[in-house]
Amino acid sequence: MKLLVIGLGGCGGRLADEFTRLNQRARRQRRITVVIDVLAVNTDPGDLSALRNVKSDLRHRIRIGARKASSHGVRNISELAAEIARVDADKVIDAIRQIPRLSEFDAFLLIAGAAGGTGSGSIPVISEFIRERHRDKPLYNLIVLPFEHEERTEERAIYNSAMCLKLASRVTDAIFLVDNQRYVREDASLRNNLDKINARIVEPFYNILCTGEERNVKYLGARLLNARDIMLTLSGWTVISCGRTPLRAVRLPFGLSRLLRKKESEPSEGVEAMEAAVDELSFSCNPKDAARALYLLTGPSQEMNLTLIEKLGDYLKTLAPDAIIRSGDYPRGKGYMDVSIILSELTNVEKVKRYYSEAAKVTSTIQRKHT
């Protein structure tokens, strides 16, 4: 599956930067393109200039709101960001039109942090403009929820998050929910923590995007998971994850160097990888609330068999009994088993409901401050 990625605001731009790295890695390691282009949009020129991988020209790093926003952006006022986005949306639309390989991509992925100003205010607006002009392409959002300390100390974080999620859900096909707090490491510095969080947020997309673009017959799975399967899975509130388990092996006697797998451990290793993926879901949810699900098994071809695929399918069905489940295998990698999971069309998303409820209590106060 090929994406056109647009990062909005500081958080969205950094994650867009990470998707650029992911695509560079896919091209280097697998000779596969999974992202046809990446745009970063911001009111803060400093954030744009700090990006490492997004191309540095004005078409790829788009500043909006130069007249209305200060040199440091909109200072968490999402309403101002929405106003700016409506005025300057044509800058983004024009940049999309100029992409050389525009006909090749399968879906849009717009990314933003929910708690900030520029990203949370602009992502519903830019999504709406793109939807009006590209109705033939699926439109997905990846929205990052605030840290716990932001929720506790900043009423703006709750308000911005609620408005962002509510408005974005009206114009998108699916929203990947990402909870920043799930990736925090207490022993890491803030900068290192953010870099690692961003890498972990993007990593689960790697195999899922690559498998359908694979052209080397050596790496084509028995059940190919392609863009159509992903599109049929993604709907509404969505979470994504991947888990990895190293393959256990024994060395043959008489000095032979080839490793022989312990056949009795195959199913358990695959299930361990799936359990790890469930533990690392991008957002805490009950899998039973999913109406659609997808999993991809990635590992050495000689380690994958029908028994393992069936066992993984049965396991996921126990977790999400009401979900329509799609699956695939991808014979790539050495020494490990990966399982990538998507749970979609989630109902009863408690944290989102809480944001809506808490935001309603402070709406009048927030709006008075803005005016």
Q: What is the pLDDT of residues 44-86, one digit of tens each?
A: 999 999 999 999 999 999 999 988 876 667 888 899 999 999 9
Q: Between these two residues, 43 and 72, which has the higher pLDDT value? A: 43
Mean pLDDT of 153-182: 94
Q: Which residues, listed in sequence order, are joined to residue 38 by a DSSP beta bridge?
A: 5
Residues 149 and 39 in one domain: yes
Select from 308, 364, 105, 351 the least CA-distant residue to 212.
105
Q: Note whether 119 and 112 are within 8 A (CB).
A: yes
- 294 found inside a domain: yes
Q: Tell me, what DSSP letter sits at residue 73? A: B
Residues 267 and 194 in one domain: no
Residues 160 and 12 in one domain: yes
Angle 364-357-321 from CA coordinates, rounded to 5°: 155
Q: Which residues, listed in sequence order, are joined to residue 245 by a DSSP beta bridge?
A: 337
In the structure, what pLDDT confidence band is assigned to residue 363 with cuts at 50, 70 and 90?
Answer: confident
- 227 found inside a domain: no
In the structure, what pLDDT confidence band is assigned to residue 258 with cuts at 50, 70 and 90?
Answer: very low
Residue 236 in tokens: 């509404």
In the structure, what pLDDT confidence band is assigned to residue 333 with cuts at 50, 70 and 90?
Answer: confident
Q: Between these two residues, 190 and 337, which has the higher pLDDT value? A: 337
Supply the range of the domain harboring residue 336.
Answer: 236-346
Above 50 in pLDDT, residue 321? yes
Above 70 in pLDDT, residue 124? yes
- 335 found inside a domain: yes
- CATH number of the structural domain spanning residue 115: 3.40.50.1440
pLDDT tens column, 2-32: 999 999 999 999 999 999 999 999 999 999 9
- 256 found inside a domain: yes
In the structure, what pLDDT confidence band is assigned to residue 252 with cuts at 50, 70 and 90?
Answer: very low
* Least confident residue range of 131-135, 298-302, 307-311: 307-311
Percent of the chain with pLDDT over 70: 90
Mean pLDDT of 206-228: 94
Residues 182 and 74 in one domain: yes
Residues 10 and 103 in one domain: yes
Q: Tell me, what DSSP letter sits at residue 187? A: T
Residues 48 and 181 in one domain: yes
- 231 found inside a domain: no
Above 50 in pLDDT, residue 263? no
- 215 found inside a domain: no
- 176 found inside a domain: yes
Domain count, the chain: 2
- 369 found inside a domain: no
* Least confident residue range of 304-308, 320-324, 338-342: 304-308
- Give 222-288 as a 3 state SS string: CCCCCHHHHHHHCCEEEEEEEEEEECCEEECCCCCCCEEECHHHHHHHHHHHHHHHHHCCCCCCCHH
Residues 197 and 290 in one domain: no
Cα 237 to chain center, whole Å? 12
* Least confident residue range of 46-55, 212-221, 259-268: 259-268
59-85 burial, b if ≥16 CB within 10 A, otherwise e? ebbbbbbeeebeeebbebbbbbbbbbb
